Amino acid sequence: MSSTILQNALHPIPVAVRGKGINITIIDPETGLERELIDANSGAAVSSVGHGDEEIKEAMRKAVDNLIYTFPIVAGNTASEKLGKFILDQAPGAFASALFTGSGSESVENAMKIMRKYHIENGEPQRVKFICRRQAYHGYTLGTLAISDNNKKVGMDEITLPKEQCPRVSQVYPYRNRKDGETLDQYSARLVQELDDTFKAAGPDTVIGFIAETVTGSTFGCQVPPPGYLDGCRDVCHKYGALFYLDEVMSGCGRMGSFHGWSRYMTGPGPDIQTNGKTLGAGYVTIAAVLIGNRIMDLFKAKKTVIQGAQTYHAHSFNCEVALAVQQKVKRDNLIGNIDTVGKYIGEKLRELQNETPFIGEVRGDGGFWGVEFVKDKATKEPFSPETKFGYKFMTKLFQKGCYSLTLDGTIDGVNGDHTILSPAFTITKEEVDTIVRLMGETLKELESEVE
């Protein structure tokens, strides 16, 4: 595989052989021997119940005995029906239908298609534009790349769809982009106004909708929406007859400490359409979802619209059965409550660490999703130059100490921003947090004598 694709990966990449709880056993690339590694990211913010859960393994065995697969056009299956009901029941009235796919990118593609179809059925076929945010990430397929904005980083700019169809607005990033003296409320209102202005510039009746991650994940580490921002964005969309879409592939299904991330940050109704992935199947199966709200489904029902989407592995029976077992366990054991409580502790410990090191400019996050931005100078917020490779050095050293934390070197509006993300399994304990933060502290201490 090319090093471009794996630019943020450890070199050489270790091989994992087993997993239990928040730990994986790897073959150390240097010694060739097995050793334990704390998986502080739970893969890519995937795990809720942790690795190697015995109950889920048993549910998988049972699912094998029941039904593995049907092609949804030939016959539906009870597993996808039950999973759909379970998901919709978590926020009664918020969504009317659930569609299950094999990956987050596939779900985002489907959501984009459904949004476009809504406007065609509504007699507005001229709506062809998706407004999205700079430095967003929604997947690596062609449509999802068109609404993502980290393409340069992965060298894919040249193969994506025309950007004129996808106008950009600012990412949420108060640490750097809040003006002097601006309150968080004023900052939020300014971003909402920017969205409104972007609709006007694009021609409001040409816009399909606005797409955002509830909490920005992989591109610029855990940007929590400021007060009123998501409600404001929804209202702007609806003012212009467009749809409001939240991508919760990374921040949904409990990651933020509530089943839907948006329910924490919105006072009014949620999105018209949403995508979920990652913790839906918690890494045990490859599954993601599109949740479709009443506004869209009411029209589709009235028009008898069929959503074209007969992909071979839609609503895969085995995957749905296992995802249901995961979700039922998460609910029964109140694991979302646990990650909310322990997540607060993660925030506290990281802020303590911030006071002890010269390198942490900001700690941000919520629930079980925390980002740490590294800077050369806390007072001026000056970032490290890309040549310093601070993030990479941090990640490699931490790995040698027995912990993996996804560390990225994104660039936003021309500013380099090394940062690392903690997104552990929901089962994590305070003692495990102590170990992770201690290892991070030791790593940063050693780096003090190694970077200028």
**Binding residues for ligand PLP (CB under 6 A):** 44, 103-105, 108, 137-139, 213, 217-218, 247, 249-250, 277, 288
Write down the least CB distance from residue 328 to ligand PLP, Å.
Answer: 22
- Beta carbon of residue 379, minimum distance to ligand PLP (angstroms, whole number): 32
The bridge status of strand 129-133 relative to strand 207-213 is: parallel
Calculate the CA dihedral of residues 133, 364, 280, 107 and round it to 10 degrees. 10
Q: How far apart are CA 381 and CA 415, in angstroms?
A: 10
- How near is the Cβ of 145 to ligand PLP at its closest, in Å? 11
Contact yes or no for 284/250 (Cβ under 8 A): no
**d(C-alpha 72, C-alpha 316), whole Å:** 8
Tell me the closest approach of the beta carbon of residue 108 to ligand PLP, in angstroms: 5
Instruction: Estimate to the nearest angstrom the gap between the alpha carbon of 82 and the chain centroid.
Output: 24
Strands 415-422 and 369-374: antiparallel
Q: Which one, 280 or 444, has the nearer CB to ligand PLP?
A: 280
Nearest distance in Å: CB 164, ligand PLP: 23
Cβ 46 vs Cβ 283: under 8 Å? yes
Calpha distance 263→215 (Å, rounded): 12
Amino acid type, 435: T
Name the token pair of 303.
């028009």
Contacts of 419 (CB under 8 A, 6+ apart): 220, 221, 371, 372, 373, 374, 391, 407, 408, 410
**Nearer CB in complex with ligand PLP: 217/367:** 217
Reported as type and span, the H/E element at residue 366 is: strand 360-366
- Taking the CA of residue 362 as centre, how many other CA atoms within 13 Å lie in the half-sphere pointing to its CB? 20
Other C-beta atoms within 10 Å of 377: how many?
12
Give whichever of 224 and 375 is closer to ligand PLP, judged by the CB atom: 224
- Minimal distance in Å, beta carbon 42 to ligand PLP? 13
Nearer to ligand PLP, 283 or 361 (CB): 283
The answer to whether residues 238 and 273 touch, using CB atoms and an 8 Å cutoff, is no
What strands, in cross-sheet order, belong to the sheet with 369-374? 360-366, 369-374, 415-422, 406-412
Q: Least distance to ligand PLP from the beta carbon of 84, Å?
A: 19
Identity at 225, one-letter amino acid code? P
For the chain, give percent helix, strand, coil, nearest 5: 40, 20, 40
Closer by beta carbon to ligand PLP, 137 or else 199 = 137
User: Between 216 and 258, whose beta carbon lies closer to ligand PLP?
Assistant: 216
- Least distance in angstroms from the C-beta of 232 to ligand PLP: 21
Question: Residue 120 or residue 156: which is nearer to ligand PLP going by CB?
Answer: 156
SS (H, E, C) 137-150: CCCCCHHHHHCCCC
Q: 106 vs 196, which CB is nearer to ligand PLP?
A: 106
How far does CA 42 lie from the centroid of its chain? 13
Token duo for residue 182: 């601006």
* Closest approach of ligand PLP to the CB of residue 348, in Å: 26
Of all residues in the shown chain, the one whose CB is closest to ligand PLP is 104
Q: Shortest approach of ligand PLP to residue 44 CB, angstroms?
A: 6
**Structure token pair of residue 74:** 């030939």
Q: Which residues contact 173 (CB under 8 A, 6 or more apart)?
A: 135, 220, 223, 412
At closest approach, how far in Å is the CB of 403 from ligand PLP?
Answer: 21
Least distance (Å) between residue 285 CB and ligand PLP:
12
Closer residue to ligand PLP in complex, CB, 148/416: 148
Tally: H helices and E strands in the chain: 13, 15
Residue number with CB closer to ligand PLP (133 or 393): 133
Nearer to ligand PLP, 27 or 154 (CB): 154
Which CB atom, from 198 or from 274, has the smaller least distance to ligand PLP? Answer: 274
